[in-house]
């Protein structure tokens, strides 16, 4: 028998850990239909039961994409069982969602996680008594320590093999009376078992418009329900029915807690987490410490270790794999163009993918440690105030910070944001951060034209990137995302010792996703660019770049770049090659201008560019379309080609306009 089991819980309650324990390696990741919220599905160990890991939410009030998605799934797909995991150290808050789930009349298990932490701090949760009080199995577990997971699995089998008994929540008299009246009105001649009418009744009472798509009401029924709601609202001085039913739910939860929960001593004393937060969230120390931590992550991700590992990979491909394959093809008397395509296009493209691997692995290792320890919530909290003005939240800071190193892993880091619109906006703004691959371009032109102020010229690129990102953020807030302002809700979980197994598993899953999914696109595009660089428009293999398809395309683009100050086909082709990798801009110029070394190239460009056009070129390189690796990752993370193309167009148009203003205004100032 195949069954669908829904795994649901609040953020930071241990849901992902429980999912991994229940499914093992038998799981896959995709996206929910129509949205880019990540969807995890796995098979319960030794069964054909599907476990669907629903997004972490705080309630079934459909305000966010995740809440709407979860509510739609529960009502439309009607899973056979709900596995509801709650954080035992935050029992009352976590139980709010549990109460709403009970109204759905779907069989449910409540796994009380972190029971070890509750016991350690002097508290206790009598799960057996809670089971007697509610009729819902409460099972104490510790997902981190794999405690009692076998009991959860055993209870899953037990519930699926016995009839479901409807459970009625013991609300206060006035709320229960109002719900019963609405229930009677909407049932009419309908079969009570057709739909979760108890849940629909509560949604109607609290004023949720989402209930309209699950039930058709006659005008008479609507009038009767409005009268019931009006009578209920009179109980509140503010006529706030949503607050009234929320209060009724919490009163019910408090009554359960009073009977079966002994609060931890830490609720009345200063905990270790409190002591750490006195420093970490201190108004004077918080931001210096935050920037030190971010600097360490930045340094580890894009510093000596990652460069060392990247150099090993690059050496492996350039000095061993490519020469070996080339030797084999030469011995096989393969045509020269085949040899070049295989070594430079296919293997070279693959090498370009794997060079990113150390950065991505180290980045996600660091982020997993921060998230598992509980600090990530603090980092988001500290930066929220500043980013809120752009329509973002604190969760956007880390991806944008990583953008200074490499856009590819920075875009991937945005997946930590639950709100889809905030994630999209973060992804759209992150490429404006000047990645490390653009530094050779700045160094070349700043060394040729701004020797006395080379450091200032390069630093100005980073400042311009931040300013443009801020301006574009304000524009996006007023246009694309004006009706989808993100509400930043994040608890500050207690600090915990990161689990090595969990950290390594998360790091590997995210790194593997980059290699498999983004890597295939990068590889195919690298081969395409190689063909454009090495074949003429008549499809004849050529070693002269000026005769290539790329040169023909560059010549067509060059006139468009004249208002920017660098309207040559060589500049156009160099920028096109930068789509593959921004480092390729300088190397392409070296080939096209036949420069033997960087010094020679510096001398050549100093005769072709002016200081103003050089600075304009630097600005354009800063802002224009991201590299293929970043675009492939954007496509992967947004799950939408239109968004990817839109980002590419917005970046290029912004680069064009900004660069043109720099060149034209610069010339006006010089000629004054």
* 351-363 tens-digit pLDDT: 655 766 787 788 7
Tokens 């009163």 correspond to 251
Query: Is the model's pTM score more than 0.95?
Result: no
173-240 matches 4-160 in CATH topology = no
pLDDT given at position 29: 57
Find the mean pLDDT for residues 568-597. Answer: 78
Find the mean pLDDT for residues 235-247. Answer: 74
- Going by DSSP bridges, is the β-strand pair 50-53/38-43 parallel, antiparallel, or unpaired? antiparallel
Distance CA 549, CA 583 (A): 21
Name the pLDDT band for 223 (thresholds 50, 70, 90). Answer: confident
Q: Which residues pair with 423 in a beta bridge?
A: none
pLDDT in tens, 7-61: 999 887 888 889 988 988 666 655 555 554 667 888 898 888 999 999 888 888 7
304: number of Cβ within 10 Å: 9
Q: Determine phi and psi for 198, rounding to 5 degrees.
A: -65, -40
Distance CA 655, CA 431 (A): 12
Distance CA 443, CA 445 (A): 6
The helix-helix angle for 375-387 and 272-280 (nearest 10°) equals: 30
Name the pLDDT band for 5 (thresholds 50, 70, 90). Answer: very high
Q: What percent of the chain has pLDDT over 70?
A: 82
Handedness of CA 187, 193, 195, 198 (dihedral sign): positive
Distance CA 72, CA 86 (A): 21
4-160, CATH topology level: Rossmann fold (3.40.50)
pLDDT given at position 187: 78
Residue 405: pLDDT above 90? Answer: no
Angle in degrees, CA 25, 31, 36, rounded to 5: 140
pLDDT in tens, 136-175: 999 999 988 889 999 999 999 999 988 877 787 888 888 8
Look at residue 222 and give its three-state secondary structure. helix
543: number of Cβ within 10 Å: 10
pLDDT given at position 640: 78
Find the mean pLDDT for residues 86-108. Answer: 90
Residue 410: pLDDT above 60? Answer: yes
Name the pLDDT band for 511 (thresholds 50, 70, 90). Answer: confident
Distance CA 126, CA 661 (A): 69
User: In Å, how far are 34, 40, 210, 273, 405 from 638, measured between CA atoms?
Assistant: 11, 16, 26, 36, 21
**Paired tokens of 24:** 């093992």
pLDDT given at position 31: 52
pLDDT given at position 11: 80
Most confident region among 132-146, 215-229, 304-318 by mean pLDDT: 132-146
Distance CA 547, CA 536 (A): 6
**Which top CATH class is 173-240?**
mainly alpha
Residue 487: pLDDT above 80? Answer: no
Find the mean pLDDT for residues 229-235. Answer: 81
pLDDT given at position 129: 93
Distance CA 600, CA 592 (A): 12
Distance CA 260, CA 283 (A): 39
Distance CA 612, CA 671 (A): 12
Distance CA 221, CA 218 (A): 5
Region of poorest pLDDT, from 1-5, 72-76, 233-237, 253-257: 233-237
Name the pLDDT band for 85 (thresholds 50, 70, 90). Answer: very high
Name the pLDDT band for 569 (thresholds 50, 70, 90). Answer: confident
Domain boundaries, the chain: 4-160, 173-240
User: In Å, how far are 176, 460, 660 from 455, measured between CA atoms?
Assistant: 70, 9, 23
pLDDT given at position 658: 95
Q: Which residues pair with 111 in a beta bridge?
A: 85, 139
Residue 482: pLDDT above 80? Answer: no
Name the pLDDT band for 110 (thresholds 50, 70, 90). Answer: very high
Name the pLDDT band for 520 (thresholds 50, 70, 90). Answer: low
Residue pair 113/147 in contact (Cβ under 8 Å)? The answer is: no
Residue 190: pLDDT above 70? Answer: no
Residue 215: pLDDT above 70? Answer: yes
Residue 476: pLDDT above 90? Answer: no
Distance CA 77, CA 568 (A): 59
Residue pair 43/23 in contact (Cβ under 8 Å)? The answer is: yes
User: In Å, how far are 87, 124, 207, 474 from 129, measured between CA atoms?
Assistant: 18, 12, 34, 53
Q: What percent of the chain has pLDDT over 90?
A: 18
DSSP, residue by residue, 571-620: HHHHHHHTTT-TTHHHHHHHHHTT-SSHHHHHHHHHHH--HHHHHHHHHH
Q: Which residues pair with 85 in a beta bridge?
A: 9, 111
Average pLDDT, the chain: 80
Name the pLDDT band for 666 (thresholds 50, 70, 90). Answer: very high
């Amino acid at each position: 028998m195949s069954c669908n089991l829904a795994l649901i819980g609040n953020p930071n309650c241990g849901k992902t850990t429980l999912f991994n324990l229940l499914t093992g390696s038998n799981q896959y990741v995709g996206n929910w239909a129509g949205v880019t919220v990540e969807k995890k599905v796995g098979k319960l160990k030794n069964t054909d039961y599907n476990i669907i890991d629903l997004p972490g939410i705080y309630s079934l009030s459909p305000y966010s994409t995740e809440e709407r998605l979860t509510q739609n799934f529960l009502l439309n797909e009607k899973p056979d069982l709900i596995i509801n995991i709650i954080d035992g150290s935050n029992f009352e808050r976590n139980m709010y969602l549990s109460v709403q789930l009970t109204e759905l009349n779907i069989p449910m298990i409540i796994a009380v996680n972190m029971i070890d932490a509750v016991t350690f701090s002097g508290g206790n949760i009598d799960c057996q008594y809670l089971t007697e009080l509610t009729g819902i199995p409460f099972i104490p577990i510790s997902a981190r320590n794999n405690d009692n997971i076998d009991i959860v699995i055993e209870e899953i089998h037990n519930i699926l093999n016995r009839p479901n008994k409807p459970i009625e929540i013991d609300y206060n008299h006035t709320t229960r009376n109002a719900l019963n009246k609405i229930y009677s009105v909407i049932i009419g001649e309908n079969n009570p078992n057709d739909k979760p009418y108890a849940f629909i009744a509560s949604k109607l009472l609290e004023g949720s418009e989402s209930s309209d798509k699950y039930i058709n009401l006659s005008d008479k029924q609507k009038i009767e329900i409005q009268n019931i709601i009006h009578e209920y609202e009179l109980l509140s001085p503010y006529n706030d029915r949503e607050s009234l039913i929320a209060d009724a739910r919490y009163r019910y939860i408090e009554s359960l807690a009073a009977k079966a929960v002994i609060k931890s001593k830490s609720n009345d004393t200063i905990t270790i987490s409190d002591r750490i937060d006195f420093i970490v969230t201190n108004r004077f120390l918080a931001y210096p410490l935050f920037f030190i931590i971010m600097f360490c992550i930045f340094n580890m991700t894009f510093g000596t270790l990652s460069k060392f590992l990247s150099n090993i990979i690059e050496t492996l491909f350039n000095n061993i794999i490519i020469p070996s394959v080339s030797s084999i093809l030469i011995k096989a008397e393969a045509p020269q163009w085949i040899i070049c395509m295989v070594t430079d296009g296919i293997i070279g493209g693959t090498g370009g993918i794997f060079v990113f691997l150390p950065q991505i692995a180290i980045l996600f290792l660091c982020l997993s440690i921060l998230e598992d320890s509980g600090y990530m919530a603090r980092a988001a909290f500290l930066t929220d105030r500043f980013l809120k003005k752009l329509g973002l939240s604190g969760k956007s800071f880390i991806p944008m910070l990583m953008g200074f190193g490499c856009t590819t892993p920075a875009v991937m880091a945005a997946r930590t944001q639950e709100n889809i619109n905030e994630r999209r906006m973060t992804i759209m703004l992150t490429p404006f951060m000047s990645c490390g691959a653009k530094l050779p371009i700045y160094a070349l032109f700043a060394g040729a034209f701004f020797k006395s102020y080379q450091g200032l010229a390069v630093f100005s690129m980073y400042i311009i990137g931040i300013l443009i990102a801020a301006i574009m953020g304000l524009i996006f807030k007023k246009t694309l995302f004006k009706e989808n302002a993100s509400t930043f809700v994040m608890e500050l979980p207690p600090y915990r010792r990161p689990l090595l197994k969990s950290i390594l598993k998360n790091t590997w899953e995210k790194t593997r996703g980059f290699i498999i999914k983004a890597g295939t696109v990068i590889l195919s595009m690298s081969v395409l660019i190689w063909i454009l660089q090495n074949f003429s428009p008549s499809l004849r293999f050529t070693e002269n770049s000026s005769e290539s398809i790329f040169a023909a395309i560059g010549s067509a683009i060059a006139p468009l770049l004249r208002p920017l100050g660098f309207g040559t086909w060589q500049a156009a082709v160099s920028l096109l090659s930068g789509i593959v990798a921004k480092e390729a801009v300088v190397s392409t110029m070296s080939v096209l201008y036949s420069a033997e070394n960087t010094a020679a190239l510096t001398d050549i460009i100093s005769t072709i560019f002016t200081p103003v056009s050089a600075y304009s070129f630097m600005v354009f390189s800063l802002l224009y379309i991201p590299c293929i690796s970043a675009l492939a990752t954007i496509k992967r993370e947004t799950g939408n080609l239109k968004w990817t193309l839109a980002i590419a167009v917005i970046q290029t148009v912004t680069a064009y306009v900004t660069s043109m203003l720099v060149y034209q205004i610069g010339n006006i100032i010089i000629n004054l």
